[in-house]
Chains A and B, each alone.
Chain A
């Protein structure tokens, strides 16, 4: 991903746009060809070699330190959001952020302890810059005003949570054989998904991702978080060919499966907000 382009677009994009209706959003999607070849297509699940797996499998310290870095980012983001005044002193958004903040803090502590228990050294927190070099003002520190800051606060939360879901998912297979560590990673993964659903719904979106759509009001630059979510091939089967009714539409078929993200992509997205 081109970081400069990401920053440019994030700077110039309007963060609040009218929500288009679901039907309008989907109207532009072409008809998906339905090849009735489902039974003829071998899944080949057992024969697929997983290079990423081979590369990183068993590197528990590396995997958990990447996770820890993402959790540091989220934990500090929500803490600062709650301290910023942008969310007010009460109300739905504040309560949602409080709950998420509590979880992200707990994830940081849990991952640090897990790394220590595994004989590894937890990375220390980077210094974060949630303005991404002055592109944003989510905490209204630079005079953007409450409305703009609030919109950015929610958009960034959505991007972080949807990234978190994809990043943990991308590492799960590398933790095969790690017993409780795999289970714990899965238990964090699904909490991130609960968060993502709620933040998306707070923003007026659905809790799930349709195609590779970042959703109304999200800047073009966040597209990297959603690229690949349009996949309909699950284990060698195009799930849109499994039936002909609504459950097998392109929309439903992409909503029904979240896609993984590799470690490099997750690092790249996080690095936008890392000052040092």
Chain B
């Protein structure tokens, strides 16, 4: 790696075991889980930190790794849902919806694995395939717990893709992200709809998620995404904020 003085980009840590990373790195810690480090601004690919912790990278590779992490999370979540007692006893509609979501997310996950494998030539820059997750905070026998977590993950997914679009440089990647994000939004609406809080028939695109004045959906920074999704992620990795190159 070139040693070049570039603009400072924040490198932040994700994963329950990130403290190991922080401990090993010996770098200054500013706030909980936030690590400041100086990085080369023109380094647009993922790489291993000196202590072996994976970094998502930036630019197209960074977004691919970022999305792959989230799709691994969603696929793992719905795998647990389908193994749980709520799903086993759910009504036909909810059962079918959750099974579809499982199918879609597993497909997305494996597509990212294939895409990254085929397009990121340096294996060291590919996010590991088997991130570890911890869903102990979710009660898979509880309809409310499962659906609320599903809603949070789907809405977070929508916000993640919407927010990451500007970091994508290759047109076809952006189109592919678009193909996936609208399906995540369809999921989010369906989950919100079947939750139907207090008979609120507007929840599928409620005022809590679509800004009233502009009609715009959420667009999240990686920081916000990992604030939502981070508690489920055990395997530590770091990301650059901003993710652009």
B residues less than 8 Å from A194 (CB atoms): 185-186, 188-189, 204-205, 210, 217
Residue interface mask A79-123, B partner, CB < 8 A = 1: 000000000000010011011101111110110000000000000
B residues less than 8 Å from A255 (CB atoms): 100, 103-104, 183
Contact B217 A183 (CB under 8 A): no
Contact B107 A169 (CB under 8 A): no
Interface residues of A (CB under 8 A from B): 22, 38-39, 41-43, 45-46, 48, 50, 53, 92, 95-96, 98-100, 102-107, 109-110, 165, 168-169, 172-173, 176, 179, 182-184, 186-198, 201, 206-208, 234-237, 239, 242-243, 246-249, 252-253, 255-260
CB-contact partner of B181 in A190, A242, A259, under 8 A: A190
Is chain B's interface secondary structure helix, strand, loop, or mixed overall?
Answer: helix
B115 to chain A, nearest CB (A): 6
Complex Cα spacing A138 to B202, Å: 22
CB-contact partner of B212 in A102, A201, A235, A239, under 8 A: A102
B195 to chain A, nearest CB (A): 13
9-residue interface stretch from B37-45, B83-91, B158-166: B158-166
Contact B166 A183 (CB under 8 A): yes
Contact B174 A173 (CB under 8 A): yes
Contact A252 B107 (CB under 8 A): yes
CB-contact partner of B161 in A42, A105, A186, under 8 A: A186
Complex Cα spacing A184 to B108, Å: 24
Is chain A's interface secondary structure helix, strand, loop, or mixed overall?
Answer: helix
Contact A95 B202 (CB under 8 A): yes
A188 to chain B, nearest CB (A): 6
B residues less than 8 Å from A243 (CB atoms): 106-107, 110
B residues less than 8 Å from A172 (CB atoms): 165, 174-175, 178
Contact A197 B185 (CB under 8 A): yes
Complex Cα spacing A247 to B193, Å: 23
Contact A259 B179 (CB under 8 A): yes
Contact B172 A190 (CB under 8 A): no
- B169 at interface, CB cutoff 8 A: yes
Interface residues of B (CB under 8 A from A): 96-97, 99-100, 102-104, 106-108, 110-111, 114-115, 117-119, 158, 161-163, 165-166, 168-176, 178-190, 193, 201-202, 204-206, 210-219
B residues less than 8 Å from A197 (CB atoms): 185-187, 189-190, 193, 204
Complex Cα spacing A194 to B202, Å: 11
Could you write out 24 A-B pairs with CB less than 8 Å apart?
A38-B114, A96-B204, A100-B205, A106-B213, A165-B182, A169-B175, A187-B162, A187-B217, A188-B216, A188-B217, A191-B185, A194-B188, A197-B186, A197-B187, A197-B193, A201-B193, A206-B100, A208-B187, A237-B115, A239-B107, A242-B107, A243-B106, A258-B186, A260-B179
Complex Cα spacing A173 to B114, Å: 22
Complex Cα spacing A239 to B112, Å: 10
Contact B163 A183 (CB under 8 A): yes
Which of the listed residues A206, A243, A247, A257 has the most CB atoms from chain B within 10 Å of its own CB?
A247
Complex Cα spacing A39 to B214, Å: 44
Name B196's closest neighbour in chain A (CB-CB): A92
Q: Given A188-B217, A197-B186, 14 more contacts at CB 8 Å?
A: A22-B96, A169-B179, A183-B166, A192-B182, A194-B217, A195-B204, A197-B204, A235-B176, A243-B110, A247-B104, A248-B107, A252-B104, A255-B103, A259-B179
B residues less than 8 Å from A193 (CB atoms): 181-183, 185-186, 189
A residues less than 8 Å from B188 (CB atoms): 194
Name B176's closest neighbour in chain A (CB-CB): A235
Contact A45 B115 (CB under 8 A): yes
